[in-house]
Chains A and B, each alone.
Chain A
Amino acid sequence: MLKRLFPHPLLSVVLFVTWMLLVNQFKIGSLVMALILSIIIPWMTAAYWPNRPKLKQLPAFAAYCLLVMWDIIVANIQVAKIILFMPANKIQSAWIPVPIELKTPEAITMLAGTITMTPGTVTADMSSCGRVLLIHSLHAPDPDAIRDDIKSRYEARLKRIFE
């Protein structure tokens, strides 16, 4: 019964919390509305996620989010330094192909998003077979180090969380 009411528990929880945050104050009415939405929307959209990924380790996922937050702050300071103090002709930008081992689209999307949000790197493209990401780095005196850093710091963690 509970399984039929909440076929996608995580989505229901996200919808419930999002609605309560949108309302911005605690009222019984909005609690009921949040509950209704968290039942109806997963039910209506069920056709769009036939092979949804299982988030295996929620604590690991939370830890990953914190790590990315921290990296974003560090990234901002690094990029700000480059913009402010490095002469424009000294900035060595580079395209870096990063071979990836992740298979699920959700994990790859998370990795691509993480790369874009962190130190001086943007995900620009993917090979058509889906096994290599193309990354542009603002300042990359050593492209191999950036590639290895992405693989060990983010990809390894995502692999444990999603696959």
Chain B
Amino acid sequence: MNGMDAYIEYAISALLVIGGLFGLVGSFGLLKLRDTMQRLHAPTKATTVGVGSALIASMAYFMLIEGKTSWHELLITLFLFLTAPITANFIAKAHMHLAIREEDMPATGVGTDWATYDPEMEVVDPALLEPVQRN
């Protein structure tokens, strides 16, 4: 193995370690933070760089060591960016429904309710909530 390869491997290893550290911090945040909304911040943030650097390490490894180009990592990044905000939003809304009263929220300042609490935003057909008849 020549000198250049060694440096490439150092760089890839560094990326993997950084990724692992950020994943660890995200998990530690789940333990340390005090309520659901605070905990929501830990995994959605601290892990994007964690996953990101693992993916960059993977791309760099295949490109520079194996000599093949791999593009799947870009797609993983794309799908992560599309899904992470939506998951976070769903968890936040579910938590608001279950654990936070509307009075404890700041006002919107424009006269209407927050959509989660607004009875007029109820779009679920009541028939759907009734238990399905089974034989």
A80 to B42, CA, bound (A): 8
The verdict on B8 contacting chain A, using a C-beta distance below 8 Å, is no
Say whether B84 contacts A117, CB under 8 Å. Answer: yes
**Min CB gap B90→A, angstroms:** 10
Chain B residues contacting A93 (CB-CB under 8 Å) are 35, 37-38
Chain A residues contacting B120 (CB-CB under 8 Å) are 128
**Min CB gap A90→B, angstroms:** 11
Say whether B85 contacts A83, CB under 8 Å. Answer: no
Interface residues on B, range: 35 or more
Interface residues on A, range: 35 or more
Say whether A79 contacts B41, CB under 8 Å. Answer: yes
**Min CB gap A126→B, angstroms:** 5
Say whether B75 contacts A21, CB under 8 Å. Answer: yes
The verdict on B17 contacting chain A, using a C-beta distance below 8 Å, is no
Chain B residues contacting A125 (CB-CB under 8 Å) are 92-93, 96, 114-116
The verdict on B28 contacting chain A, using a C-beta distance below 8 Å, is yes
Chain B residue, CB-CB nearest to A87: B32
Say whether A21 contacts B110, CB under 8 Å. Answer: no
A130 to B108, CA, bound (A): 10
Please tell me which one of the listed residues B85, B112, B114 contacts residue A112 in the complex, with CB atoms under 8 A apart: B85
The verdict on A95 contacting chain B, using a C-beta distance below 8 Å, is yes
Say whether B44 contacts A122, CB under 8 Å. Answer: yes
A132 to B110, CA, bound (A): 8
A38 to B110, CA, bound (A): 43
Given the known interface contacts A95-B106, A128-B112, the answer about A116 and B70 at a Cβ–Cβ threshold of 8 Å is: no
A133 to B32, CA, bound (A): 28
The stretch of A2-10, A53-61, A69-77, A150-158 that contacts the partner chain: A69-77
Using CB atoms and an 8 Å cutoff, list the residues of chain B in contact with chain A.
Answer: 22, 25-26, 28-29, 32-35, 37-38, 40-42, 44-46, 48-50, 70-72, 74-75, 78, 81, 84-86, 88-89, 92-93, 96, 105-116, 118, 120-121
